[in-house]
Every structure is written in C-alpha cells, then in structure tokens.
Amino acid sequence: MQDDGKAWVEVGKAIAADAKVKVMCPVCAEATLEVWDVPWKAEPKRWERHMQCPSCGAYNSLRMKDKPSTSAIDTA
Amino acid sequence: MEPPLDPKCPGHPGVTPAESAIISEVQRMMASPEMVHLHEAYREGVSRIVRIGGRLIQYEPGLPASGMTLFGEGGFVLGPEALTSRAELIRTCLHELHRLTTSQIGSGAAIGRNLVHAETQAAFGFAQRAYEAYFGEG
C-alpha cells in the first residue's frame, strides 16, 4: 500500500471516532479535512461520513452506523 | 428509482452492467481464501491486507466503521463491524465497490450537496437491494 493509503487509514480511524477532530489532509498536508455526514434516507441510523480536502480535493468516505461515533455533523 | 431490467445482464437481471460487475466481484470475494484470512485477522484482532482479484482490502481492527474507501488504492478498508455477520460483510463490500466504481466525487468531480446526497443514497440502496436479490438466504 502507498504511503497516502496508510495515512488515510489512520485519518479514517480518527474521523470515524470523532467527526469534529481536526485532521490535516494526508495527501497535501496543506489544509484541514472537511467532514460531514449524510444519512441513508431508508434507515437514518446508517450514514456515510465524507472527508475531503478543500485544498487538493482528496476524498474518501466511511460507511457508518449509530455507534460508536459521538459527533455527527448532519448536512441533510 | 430502481434501474430497469437490462437484457445484457442475464446473470443479474434488474441491475445495470456496472452493478452486475460489482455483484460478480463480491461473489468472487466471498468465495476466496483471502476472505478467510480477513476473518482470521478479525478473530485475532490484528490488521491484515489482502488482494482479491487485484483489489486491495485491508482489515483494520481500530476502524470504528463498517468500511472506508481508499480511492488512491482502488480498494477499501473493513472495520470490525463489517465482520460481525455475513450480511454486513456482503453489504459493506457491495457498498464500497459501488463507491469506488461509480462515484463522480471520487473521480474528482466538484462536491455539491445534491451530488453527495445522491451518491450516499445510491451506495446504501444498491448494497441493500443487491444483497437481498443475490446473496440473501430467504
């Protein structure tokens, strides 16, 4: 796995546990990742947590459930 | 909206050709010996990386989520939640592959609220629909 991929895994672990944690982009290291949640309409206790760098556009997403996250940011 | 029946996908009627390819890939994943290795890692609580058909899949015990895309790798990460049941594992693989192969955002498109919401609904909806049609036990 590339270094960016390894860094993304660590970023994902931190952001999955707490959406409000401030994490620098693992690709460009020039900006803090933006994080927001989008619930699945059919089952709102399930959602995706999106992570994107406002500087370079790097992006990944998490498939989440109601636990253990405590800091969802709902943009629905 | 449900996709129309596609006569080009006789093996998986009711889905698009792209979705049919995802279902086939997950069927191969579930039958692979590497999937056994991921279950072993889950039971042992250790991280493990495998490649199934060239697709990178990592099991990460510290990820408090079912799954996570790795667009740069063309692969994905599974968290412990994904391995708590066969159903959740299949749905997570379907979801992550749908993201990796169909996401406009992951391909560099500008993020807009409507696009993000549409892709989230599409990924969850496809995973559930495909699981019930092609992997469910009832």
Q: What is the per-residue pLDDT across B69-123, written as a single tens digit (0 to 9) for each?
A: 999 999 999 999 999 999 999 999 999 999 999 988 877 777 777 888 999 999 9
**Residue B67: inside a domain, yes or no?**
yes
Residue B138 lies in a domain: no
Residue A13 with chain B: CB contacts under 8 Å: 60, 62-64
Chain B residues touching A12 at Cβ < 8 A: 63, 65, 68, 77
Residue B70 near residue A5, CB atoms below 8 Å: yes
Based on the structure, what is the number of domains in chain B?
1
Residue B66, in any domain of the structure: yes
Q: What are phi and psi of B26, to 5 degrees?
A: -70, -35
B10 domain residue, yes or no: no
Taking CA–CA distances from B75, the nearest residue in chain A reads A5
- Report yes or no on B92 lying in a domain: yes
- The whole-angstrom separation of Cα B72 and Cα B6 is 31
CATH number at residue B124: 1.10.10
Report yes or no for ipTM above 0.90: no
Q: Do B92 and A40 touch (CB under 8 A)?
A: no
Q: What angle do CA B39, B81, B125 make, to 5 degrees?
A: 110
**Residues in chain B closer than 8 A to A25 (CB atoms):** none
Q: Which domain holds residue B120?
A: 17-131
pLDDT digits (tens, 9 = 90+) for B29-57: 999 999 999 999 999 999 999 999 999 99
Assess if residue B46 is contained within a domain.
Answer: yes
**pLDDT for position B60:** 98
Residues A41, B92: C-beta atoms closer than 8 Å: no
What is the rounded CA–CA span in Å between residue B135 and residue B138?
9
Rounded to a whole number, what is the distance in angstroms from the first to the last CA of chain A?
A: 34
